[in-house]
Structure 1
């Protein structure tokens, strides 16, 4: 049969979403490099390796239950169908009719949304870094993907109560980034600071990451992957709107990089590289909600503000004794809050009409309504994720424990959890063989 215009357009849209899904999955490599580079050498192999493990666990959990709970037909609070997803089944898409209207295969929609869930989970791991047991990663991967992420996802994207109110979160400042950041914050509070981070008087000791080149490469990969994240959320390319979303995304990221470096330079007299990198990611997080709703100049403002906010909030949390090794809550949480609120200020009538979600922002004659919806969605999401994450992790802490022993933490998680070192040429071979034979007690502190 000769292809029709509609069938060609559908094939082009599907191809773009497939490319976008791959770009979002590639962000896992960015997180691995960023987190490994931001932590110490003795934990580098562990930090990078668990990224692969948790992506696999997230995939299985999202296939079994997470996808159906997020997008399945149900009620205002949770999906109730489409579990153990099988796209080959007769009328498979019917279980998701309330949330799935795009002209692409339902299996591709699953893959794209799985990539988002995996990003949210990867963000959460920042709060666990350098001191959590590997078994906690396994358990929390399943529970986050089944009990936490799908609830907010359904509220906003799956036809839930926030969707009915018109909450604007185009690609996930709240659904993806805030969820992961809040879970990271709960973990950071319960795990307590790393050994040596704070002195008796409460003053903080810097624990720099071991490889700044890794962190730069990680951020570049994330920046590239974000074009799939945001522009891919159009779920098509034939309308050309994906290009506009890519434009606002890139403008926001660039503004965040410049603003973060500028504020660090003005305060400390040094153009701090980690601050600049955090500014990029924070700006990308912030523009994620608003990329389809705001004009280019507003994207620059949103990105700049997020870079500045991240710098000061990271300092504030550190002074309050919250040891967040990769600044997960400042970068993804604070920026996610600002980005979600920003549509309530900057959403234009024309773009809101095109997106078909919510109302114009305060600065475009929309009044306070949309800003109120955004704030309500933030408060509800933050409370749910923090309470459930805290309860789950507190239960695990009371039963099997969250944290490795002091000796294992000092040795490093590469050896204590995996029996191998990420940089073996820097550790005497007899130490590694002795450790494998006798366990952690064979290595002195």
Structure 2
């Protein structure tokens, strides 16, 4: 690679990344990758047991196909290696898409900076891809999701260029997004909305004779939420992109703002649940409130004061929880509340920055702009709105093209029979019929139609017959063992065989 390309790439990757900055970035990237475990537990806990294995395997495959797509194409689209000009600056030739490091590799000169940046960007793009899965659970086939994961990773790489690359048109317009509020949550949430509209609701989800699709494992969902919580703290702390100079101060402040916004978000959800659900504390509502508080603060987590984080998290929780019945009324199937948490929370988060942010004088993260309540102009609000529209439209159009196009190659939705049996059995040869809690299909009401009821009764009788045969076998086997033991005893004592 030419020296000019190398010098320009170093300029674009980061500003003064030292070895301790790289250590911080790589450690944070590892923490962000562990969020995949949290997403796996949360999503599997919110759906029916017959789809547990399928959902967790899809989450395991996210880093596989996201990693391949990002290494080959995505990273090159998210940053560019433009030619350096005589005064040492970088020429801004393309404001819409990068054209840089495809098939990422490095020389010894910029190896640390390039690979640290690559690992961090990859961890974020994997989170965005997993968000979409939450809206498609229990419907999309495994092969279709693997292909979709690869393609959508490339799509999500472009908005990060707009926001974070010096060449990006939203960056040049001075849009601010510190920790992926738009590039991760808005892109993933909008893609999830379009995906669930294309796939249509799960069988019987909005039928008058079907009961509520309850959580199969609230314990797993809560454990996954807790893992996401600490992963989110790591994600926001890494958004300062290091700890040298004054960066460590921003990392510390982001930890406080993240904890405060999530705390008020979860508390708000508990209060709403207690007031409107007959003094019960609903688990899914609590998860929605807590996670939406985290999303809402992500645009400016390094810039907010604690009291500002409280207000932003509180409003974000209210908006996200309020969106749940709206989606149900519109018959939009959102099993994990992905749309409410990530789409609604990110829209509010981007707007909230234009309202609450103070002018940053240390690292210039706000590009000398100030929020409305501190006397700033409306320009920042307009730019944030522009960023929301551009990224939402990009993600929506890309998803609307990719998913229907995939139908030309393979089935994207489970067949009726496979959906009834569950993806675990249909696609992964895993049966849960040996477990008592899966003898009857889960989450159904007593008003289910007669044909489905007969099918379920037949399933129960088949399982009981299998249990009876196994029990009879064990009784006969126990009798034979006793008989052999008695004969052995008599033989040793000099008696005769029976």
| TM above 0.5 | yes
Indicate which of 350, 358, 361 corresponds to 1:348. 358
Relative to structure 1, is the Cα distance of residues 339 and 358 closer, same or farther in structure 2, using a 3 angstrom cutoff? farther
Name the counterpart of 1:84. Answer: 103
Relative to structure 1, is the Cα distance of residues 408 and 167 closer, same or farther in structure 2, using a 3 angstrom cutoff? same
Relative to structure 1, is the Cα distance of residues 357 and 221 closer, same or farther in structure 2, using a 3 angstrom cutoff? farther
Q: Does 1:156 align with 2:166?
A: no
Indicate which of 385, 396, 405 corresponds to 1:375. 385
Paired with 1:330 and 1:273, the residues of 2 have a C-alpha distance of 15
Paired with 1:66 and 1:246, the residues of 2 have a C-alpha distance of 29
Paired with 2:390 and 2:204, the residues of 1 have a C-alpha distance of 36
Name the counterpart of 1:438. Answer: none
Paired with 2:275 and 2:162, the residues of 1 have a C-alpha distance of 41
Paired with 1:287 and 1:144, the residues of 2 have a C-alpha distance of 25
Q: Which of structures 1 and 2 has the bigger CA Rg?
A: 2
Structure 2 segments unaligned to the other structure (5+ residues) = 1-16, 82-92, 438-455, 460-498
Indicate which of 111, 124, 140 corresponds to 2:148. 140
| Superposed counterparts of 1:11-90, under 5 Å | 11-73=19-81, 75-87=94-106, 89=107
Q: Does 1:235 align with 2:241?
A: yes
- Length-normalised TM-score, structure 2: 0.78
Paired with 1:224 and 1:351, the residues of 2 have a C-alpha distance of 29
Paired with 1:192 and 1:250, the residues of 2 have a C-alpha distance of 36
1:134-185: CA deviation from partner (whole Å, max 9, x where unpaired): 1111111111111x10111111112300011111110011100111111111
Name the counterpart of 1:186. Answer: 194
Relative to structure 1, is the Cα distance of residues 352 and 259 closer, same or farther in structure 2, using a 3 angstrom cutoff? farther
Paired with 1:64 and 1:395, the residues of 2 have a C-alpha distance of 22
Cα shift at 1:308: 1.1
| Superposed counterparts of 1:363-442, under 5 Å | 363-397=373-407, 400-421=410-431, 423=432, 425-426=434-435
Paired with 1:112 and 1:278, the residues of 2 have a C-alpha distance of 26
Paired with 1:252 and 1:204, the residues of 2 have a C-alpha distance of 36
Q: CA RMSD in A?
A: 2.2
Paired with 1:230 and 1:141, the residues of 2 have a C-alpha distance of 24
Cα shift at 1:11: 2.9
Relative to structure 1, is the Cα distance of residues 77 and 221 closer, same or farther in structure 2, using a 3 angstrom cutoff? same
- Which of structure 1's runs of 4+ aligned residues deviate more than 6 A? none
Name the counterpart of 2:224. Answer: 218
Partner of 1:46: helix, strand, or coil? helix
Partner of 2:34: helix, strand, or coil? helix
The number of residue pairs the alignment matches comes to 409
Relative to structure 1, is the Cα distance of residues 427 and 417 closer, same or farther in structure 2, using a 3 angstrom cutoff? farther
Paired with 1:350 and 1:235, the residues of 2 have a C-alpha distance of 16
Relative to structure 1, is the Cα distance of residues 356 and 298 closer, same or farther in structure 2, using a 3 angstrom cutoff? closer
| Superposed counterparts of 1:262-281, under 5 Å | 262-269=271-278, 270-281=280-291
Paired with 1:227 and 1:33, the residues of 2 have a C-alpha distance of 18
1:185-222: CA deviation from partner (whole Å, max 9, x where unpaired): 1110011110111126xx98420121001111111111
Partner of 2:274: helix, strand, or coil? helix
1:252-303: CA deviation from partner (whole Å, max 9, x where unpaired): 1111100111122222232212111111111111111121222211100111
Paired with 1:36 and 1:358, the residues of 2 have a C-alpha distance of 44
Paired with 2:366 and 2:314, the residues of 1 have a C-alpha distance of 27
Structure 1 segments unaligned to the other structure (5+ residues) = 1-8, 94-103, 429-442
